[in-house]
Amino acid sequence: MGGATGDGGAVIAELVAGHVLDVPDFPQPGVMFKDLTPLFADGEAFRSVVDSIVDHHGPDGFDTVVGIEARGFVLAAAVAYATGVGVVPVRKAGKLPRETVEASYRLEYGEATLQLHADAFTAGERVLVLDDVLATGGTAEATLRLVEEAGGVVAGLSVVIELSFLKGREKLTDRSVHALLTL
């Protein structure tokens, strides 16, 4: 350990690094899955992560929080509760019951579609988007587009871990990306 870095400084980066488990070849061969369940399960560490995200954006820096299915939901609910704002889910296709806006993006094999309720935001609402891992950036980029299509203004994107070798930030050049641990 030691030497961990991220946009929230070394202390929180080290904390995240100490609570993530690397699972090789999950969910498919060649992928090193970053399992954050040990971080979520540790009350003190989880609170530090949530506080660090809130500190970065400022408690008045956003009006609502979006969580990306499924691990983004865990973060989004906690940040929303901590700051007294609401939480909105971005879900995989076919899960939301009412009219949606949707965005499709490329995966390594095939395509994925995300959906958001069309009436999720009032016009101009400032939206903070949260997910656990930024990999190629396709998921985040599609989500930010959806937020704007639904009338929101993207206030920022925070992730716990960024896999920089997959160059997700390059898909998000005009966006503010905040990663607590950059690998």
Catalytic residue numbers, as ranges:
71, 108
Three-state DSSP at 164 gives: helix
Q: Which residue, 33 or 113, is less far from ligand AMP as judged by CB?
A: 33
The residues binding ligand AMP (CB under 6 A) are 31-34, 68, 71, 131-140, 168
**Beta carbon of residue 124, minimum distance to ligand AMP (angstroms, whole number):** 27
Cβ–Cβ under 8 Å, residues 15 and 45 = yes
29 to 25, 56, 96, 108, 144: CA distances (angstroms): 4, 35, 31, 12, 29
**Beta carbon of residue 136, minimum distance to ligand AMP (angstroms, whole number):** 3
Cβ–Cβ under 8 Å, residues 21 and 133 = no
Q: Which residue, 45 or 151, is less far from ligand AMP as judged by CB?
A: 45
Closest listed residue to residue 99, CA positions, set 123, 120, 117, 121:
117
**Beta carbon of residue 123, minimum distance to ligand AMP (angstroms, whole number):** 27
Q: Which residue, 49 or 135, is less far from ligand AMP as judged by CB?
A: 135
The β-bridge relationship of strands 126-134 and 111-117 is: unpaired
